[in-house]
């Protein structure tokens, strides 16, 4: 099991929440496929595939919804 990296879903702003969602998606890919070489090879395939890019956006959107909910949609913030 890798060293804990996600200690909280709490962030100050929606921008930070979105950045966390992207990071969560990237870490999930690295955990699913730990080989840098294989990920590099696969990247050349999916970077030109609209369906793959849309799917990755969907994953980030799901993570963002989770982060937003954990932050009570920033209702206490001035954002």
Q: Which of the two residues, 17 and 3, has the higher pLDDT score?
A: 17
Residues 50 and 53: their CA atoms lie apart, in Å, by 5
- Per-residue pLDDT at 3: 83
Which pair of structure tokens corresponds to residue 42?
Answer: 């696969």
- Per-residue pLDDT at 50: 97
- Per-residue pLDDT at 73: 74
Instruction: Write out pLDDT tens, residues 18-68.
Output: 999 999 999 999 999 999 999 999 999 999 999 999 999 999 999 999 999
Q: Are 24 and 63 in contact (CB under 8 A)?
A: yes
């Amino acid at each position: 099991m890798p060293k804990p990296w996600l200690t909280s879903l709490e962030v100050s702003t929606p921008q930070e929440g979105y950045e966390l969602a992207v990071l969560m998606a990237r870490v999930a890919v690295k955990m699913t496929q730990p080989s840098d070489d294989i990920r590099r090879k696969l990247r050349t395939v999916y970077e030109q595939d609209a369906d793959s890019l849309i799917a990755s956006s969907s994953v980030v959107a799901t993570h963002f919804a989770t982060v937003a909910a954990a932050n009570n949609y920033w209702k206490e913030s001035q954002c």
